[in-house]
Amino acid sequence: MANSPITDFIEKHYLHFNAAALVDAAKGYKKHLSEDKKMLISLAGAMSTGELGKSLSEMIRQDKVQIISCTGANLEEDVMNLVAHSHYERVPHYRDLTPKEEWELLERGLNRVTDTCIPEEEAFRRIQKHIFKIWKEAEDNGERYFPHEFMFKLLNSGVLEQYYEIDPKNSWMVEAAKKNLPMVVPGWEDSTLGNIFASYCMKGELKPSTMKSGIEYMTYLADWYIKNAEDKGIGFFQIGGGIAGDFPICVVPMLYQDMELTDTPFWSYFCQISDSTTSYGSYSGAVPNEKITWGKLDITTPKYVIESDATIVAPLIFAYVLGW
């Protein structure tokens, strides 16, 4: 283990409370993969803008994740960081900003995510003209694709390489596109590119039907689960809460209860990194055992909750799984 300094540090110092939960979850993740089971990772929040790609890309390269569920924001923001990294601005004193100072950021074309500002012109617009061509070409050919499939086409075309400002090995979307990694992107419409696509539809330049829908994502996921779960189930590693996690976890009770496929295995590993509070009635903060009552997890499913900051915890767990 001499060449695994992060793993060594974690095992020596992370012995109690949320730290111990992190270690247990990481060990459970490795055990799950060692049993030839597959893993889903869900990305909520602004993990791409938080540069999770530096570790997640290696997880993809080493086949430590077999399918990803993410928000439309995480889908696009990894690519935005790829093509406009030098134009991002950190605002470490963001808690002290006045409404006037926030407005000044808007006027400069800087959209703030906590302490990091995404440069609208360099990020969104560099992508927009190229993705529109791909959308339009598909429509003209009578073809329809999912949001992530259009992004894969964009990345694999090489047209964005002229703008790359980080090493592409640190972009999880570049790695996902290379592998044509299965993905679901529920609620894509509320992302920036989703808004842009909607605007083209309102102007009559594109048809909504060119983009495959959320219902089609659910049926796609259901088919994928049936083909890949065997009798082992699939693991579920949830970063944050929200639709990125809520959407895919429902596929098991849907298959079991609504499709009456009663031999459908439950999710066979569950871990969530969360800062949500259970007593507020939030699903994101619900303890894993609540999911048993919804037909998502089994009594015997290994269950872990790490109540902490996902931007700190997720890279550490990935580092442990990768043996760093």
Least confident of 40-49, 118-127, 156-165, 223-232: 118-127
Structure tokens at 169: 């090995």
The C-alpha atoms of residue 96 and residue 119 are separated, in whole angstroms, by 21
Across residues 91-105, what is the average pLDDT?
97
The answer on pLDDT for 183 being more than 90 is yes
Confidence of residue 1 (pLDDT cuts 50, 70, 90): very low
Select the more confidently predicted residue: 279 or 223: 223
321 in Cβ contact with 251 (< 8 Å): no
Across residues 93-118, what is the average pLDDT?
97
The answer on pLDDT for 287 being more than 90 is no
pLDDT value, residue 2? 59
pLDDT digits (tens, 9 = 90+) for 186-202: 999 999 999 999 999 99
**In 143-173, which positions are buried (b, 16+ CB within 10 angstroms) versus exposed (e)?**
eebbbbbbbbbbbeeebbeebeebebebbbb
pLDDT digits (tens, 9 = 90+) for 137-181: 999 999 999 999 999 999 999 999 999 999 999 999 999 999 999
Q: What percent of the chain has pLDDT over 90?
A: 92
